[in-house]
Structure 1
Amino acid sequence: MIADPVVKRDDGESPAVARRRLRLALRRLRESLGLTQADVSGHLRWSLSKVNRMETGEVTISAGDLEAILAFFGISDGKKAAQLAQHCRLARRRGWWDRSEIRPHLTPALTNLLQFESDAAHIMAFGPSILPGIIQTHAMAAVILADYADVLTEEQRAARFTLRMRLREQAIGRESGTTCTVVLDESVVLREFGGLRLLASQLEDMLEAVDDQRLDVRILPFTAPTLFGLENPFMLVELDDGDTVLYREGITDEFFDDGAMVDRYRRIFERQLEGALSPAASVRLVKARLAAIESALDRL
């Protein structure tokens, strides 16, 4: 049986975000000084691959290595050095996702998504056939995950349920501080996954989040032309400094933080928004669907 997780928003920068900010800051510092990775590796007597892996995020930068790099760069600004040292400390912090009952059941992409979403300023998600996990109710998430009983163990499903509820709390929880825009294909609110009562409860919860201004839902109607990227769900997570990452679902999930792929999916999302109904029209459509469900339930 899947139990409701205890969820709350983390305090401070997540390890993944801290690691990314540190490596990007060091790369920008190196480039501003006109230095190459070979210059750094030669001066510090490190292998070139070590420097490259630091800047790409393949390895976590230690406090000692950070001190050596800053000394070589001639960083004497105490405030700047302290900020980078703080990133370095947080990058090595362990979180609740490292617990033995959770970590083995998470993909690297999901682990990154969880951490980046905890620091999100704005989330943009697209659901082509089913509601994105970040807005699924406890009951809907449990039913959807139960459908994977033939491929996921009970422990795996329990871990993913905990993750899904955590992501929901970070995205649209009352204390999240994150804005969330979701584009749904019209078929999503018509599909009776889990039965009419469950769907009605899910739509009521979604409308409540919209009414509380915790969520902006936009419906992509059947009349809209087919848009590129319609076939797979994805999520863009924008941080408060403007940096954005991409989580893409499929047979295997993927996480991207490179500019080209992120920019490509941002353009796709913008095109989907252009084809979607207005916020008011989207709410009217969902309310009409909910009214039809309630009418059908009255006749049962």
Structure 2
Amino acid sequence: MVAGRGPTVRRRRLASELRRLRDLNAMTLEEAAQRVGWSVAKVSRIETARVGITSPDLTRLLDLYELDTSKRSALHALARTARMKGWWDAYANSLPSDYATYIQLEADVAFIRSFDNVLVHGLLQTEDYAREVIRSALMALSSPAEVERRVEVRMTRQKLLLREESPIRFWTVIDEAALIRQIGSTGTMRGQYVKLLELADRDNVTIQVLPLAAGVHPATAGTFAIMEFREIYDPAVVYVETMTSSLYVENDSEMYWYTLAFDHLRAVALGPDSSKVLIEKMLEEST
């Protein structure tokens, strides 16, 4: 994906949808440009998200592609918000572009299904736990102030789960190994267990623990998150993070494999109630 400081995620999603509509109508760039009386370069720049698009111009394209009236309002709303800045822009100078892009996507998500085999997911971390993780990931290459900025960003992201109006749905399967792994002090781990138990009581959060006894499973390759969005034109995407970059999987067949893997994981993991019992046991044993 393009760096978060370039075209916004919303502009890129609109551009992608316009390309899809043109393809559905079996038109080349040249044909579309000729039909609306524009240069090929203008259509190309819009479809590659190099420039935005005005509402009248968007209407002309949607007329050309004969898009049903009931489906147009969402695309016009996307065009209007494509230039809007989010809270993360205040941290633009300190966030890696891949991370900034992910945060923009996450801000529009409706449902996340996540498998976490190394660490507790960032949306569920306590401040102390997050600080230890971020400090370790940066490997002393950044200042303490930079670490604190990253912690602040992570805590701000969690408002997606906690807001009163339309909080995101979040379903995580956490490998037991991630909960056993000592991150920071005993107090840090105790605080993390407490937070997991508190979040597990929320209607929009489901937490399951994959026990070590479950053995081998389809997701031995590592952590992934399936992200589903609120708008009908926004297809789901799988987010896979590596040490140096991020991968977004959008191919239907590959999406199916990740969905199938998550369904297998939640089937062999402990149920939500049994998972809470296990985390409570870990909390007791950490005293």
Could you state the TM-score of these two structures normalised by the residue count of structure 1?
0.78
SS of match in other structure, 2:156: helix
Q: 1:157-176 residue pairs with structure 2 within 5 A?
A: 157-173=147-163
Q: Is 1:186 the counterpart of 2:168 in the alignment?
A: no
SS of match in other structure, 1:271: helix
2:282 aligns with one of 277, 289, 293: 289
Inter-partner Cα distance in structure 2 for 1:52 and 1:226: 47
Q: Which runs of 5+ in 1 are unaligned?
A: 1-14, 295-300
1:106 aligns with one of 80, 95, 99: 95
Inter-partner Cα distance in structure 2 for 1:198 and 1:219: 19
Partner of 1:118: 107
Q: Which runs of 5+ in 2 are unaligned?
A: 1-7
Judged with a 3 Å threshold, the aligned counterparts in structure 2 of structure 1 residues 167 and 253 are, in CA distance, closer, same or farther, namely farther
Q: 1:118-267 residue pairs with structure 2 within 5 A?
A: 118-147=107-136, 148=138, 150-173=140-163, 177-241=167-231, 243-256=235-248, 258-260=250-252, 261-267=254-260
CA contact (8 A) 1:134 1:172 kept: no
For structure 1, which segment, 160-169 or 126-135, has the greater mean C-alpha deviation from structure 2 after superposition?
Answer: 160-169
1:29 aligns with one of 8, 13, 21: 21
CA contact (8 A) 2:30 2:40 kept: no
Following TM superposition, by how much is the alpha carbon of 1:28 offset from its aligned partner in structure 2, in angstroms? 4.4
Judged with a 3 Å threshold, the aligned counterparts in structure 2 of structure 1 residues 287 and 29 are, in CA distance, closer, same or farther, namely same
SS of match in other structure, 1:206: helix
Judged with a 3 Å threshold, the aligned counterparts in structure 2 of structure 1 residues 173 and 127 are, in CA distance, closer, same or farther, namely farther
CA contact (8 A) 2:74 2:231 kept: no
Inter-partner Cα distance in structure 2 for 1:51 and 1:32: 16
Inter-partner Cα distance in structure 2 for 1:224 and 1:172: 31
Inter-partner Cα distance in structure 2 for 1:281 and 1:138: 26
Judged with a 3 Å threshold, the aligned counterparts in structure 2 of structure 1 residues 219 and 283 are, in CA distance, closer, same or farther, namely same
Judged with a 3 Å threshold, the aligned counterparts in structure 2 of structure 1 residues 150 and 37 are, in CA distance, closer, same or farther, namely same
Q: 1:92-103 residue pairs with structure 2 within 5 A?
A: 92-99=83-90, 102-103=91-92
Inter-partner Cα distance in structure 1 for 2:174 and 2:225: 12
Inter-partner Cα distance in structure 2 for 1:250 and 1:202: 24
Inter-partner Cα distance in structure 2 for 1:259 and 1:144: 31
SS of match in other structure, 1:262: helix
Q: 1:32-51 residue pairs with structure 2 within 5 A?
A: 32-43=24-35, 44-47=38-41, 51=43
CA contact (8 A) 1:229 1:268 kept: yes
**Letter of the structure 2 residue corresponding to residue 277 of structure 1:** L
**CA RMSD after TM alignment:** 2.8
SS of match in other structure, 2:195: helix
SS of match in other structure, 1:256: strand
For structure 1, which segment, 155-164 or 28-37, has the greater mean C-alpha deviation from structure 2 after superposition?
Answer: 28-37
Inter-partner Cα distance in structure 2 for 1:235 and 1:93: 26
Could you state the TM-score of these two structures normalised by the residue count of structure 2?
0.81
Judged with a 3 Å threshold, the aligned counterparts in structure 2 of structure 1 residues 75 and 218 are, in CA distance, closer, same or farther, namely closer
- Give the % identical residues: 25
SS of match in other structure, 2:21: helix
Following TM superposition, by how much is the alpha carbon of 1:155 offset from its aligned partner in structure 2, in angstroms? 4.3
CA deviations over 1:274-295 (Å, ceiling 9, x no partner):
221122221111111112113x
Inter-partner Cα distance in structure 1 for 2:66 and 2:177: 58
Inter-partner Cα distance in structure 2 for 1:76 and 1:119: 24
Following TM superposition, by how much is the alpha carbon of 1:235 offset from its aligned partner in structure 2, in angstroms? 1.9
Partner of 2:75: 84
SS of match in other structure, 1:273: helix
CA contact (8 A) 1:123 1:171 kept: no
CA deviations over 1:158-205 (Å, ceiling 9, x no partner):
332222112222135555521111111111221221122211111111
Q: Is 1:61 the counterpart of 2:52 in the alignment?
A: yes
CA deviations over 1:42-72 (Å, ceiling 9, x no partner):
443214xx645644x5434321653553454
Inter-partner Cα distance in structure 1 for 2:216 and 2:83: 44
SS of match in other structure, 2:40: coil
**Letter of the structure 2 residue corresponding to residue 204 of structure 1:** V
Judged with a 3 Å threshold, the aligned counterparts in structure 2 of structure 1 residues 41 and 156 are, in CA distance, closer, same or farther, namely farther
